[in-house]
């Protein structure tokens, strides 16, 4: 069983996510690996008190990067699951 408070891990703040928030009323979150669309929708509605229209989920693959400080050694960024949530017209989430 997945608890609602353990589904949403953090809010994703990137240039693309910020633009989607301002233009399309979409919010991007890192979510637990075991979360599905229904669980994410229920968690958003319970935590922020808004109505969710659409939830899209994507698995972000790991990236391999060279570390310049350690003579070019390669390290791996971890993979995660991301949810893009579109709210109904007139609903907003205040991110502080």
Q: What is the pLDDT of residue 94?
A: 86
Q: What pLDDT is attached to residue 96? A: 65
For residues 44 and 83, give the distance between their C-alpha atoms in angstroms, rounded to a whole number.
11
**63 is a domain residue:** yes
Containing domain of residue 70, as a range? 4-87
In a domain, 28, yes or no: yes
Euclidean distance between CA atoms 47 and 80, whole angstroms:
21
39 backbone φψ class: left, alpha, beta (φ>0; ψ -120 to 50) = alpha
pLDDT at 1 over 60: no
| 75 vs 85 pLDDT, higher one | 85
Confirm whether 59 is domain-assigned: yes
Domain of 9, CATH number, reads 3.30.70.330
Residue 2 pLDDT more than 70?
Answer: no
- Residue 96 in any domain: the answer is no
Residue 93 belongs to a domain:
no
Q: Do 5 and 44 contact (CB within 8 A), yes or no?
A: no
* Cβ 34 vs Cβ 62: under 8 Å: no
Give the whole-number percent of the chain exceeding pLDDT 90: 74
Q: Over 90: is that where the pLDDT of 71 sits?
A: no
């Amino acid at each position: 069983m997945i608890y609602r408070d353990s589904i949403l891990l953090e809010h994703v703040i990137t240039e693309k996510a910020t633009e989607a928030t301002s233009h399309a009323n979409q919010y991007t979150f890192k979510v637990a690996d075991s979360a599905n669309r229904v669980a994410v929708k229920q968690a958003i509605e319970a935590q922020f008190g808004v109505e969710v229209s659409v939830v899209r989920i994507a698995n972000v693959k790991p990236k391999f990067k060279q570390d310049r400080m350690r003579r070019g050694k390669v390290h791996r960024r971890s993979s995660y699951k991301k949810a893009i949530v579109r709210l109904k017209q007139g609903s907003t989430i205040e991110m502080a």
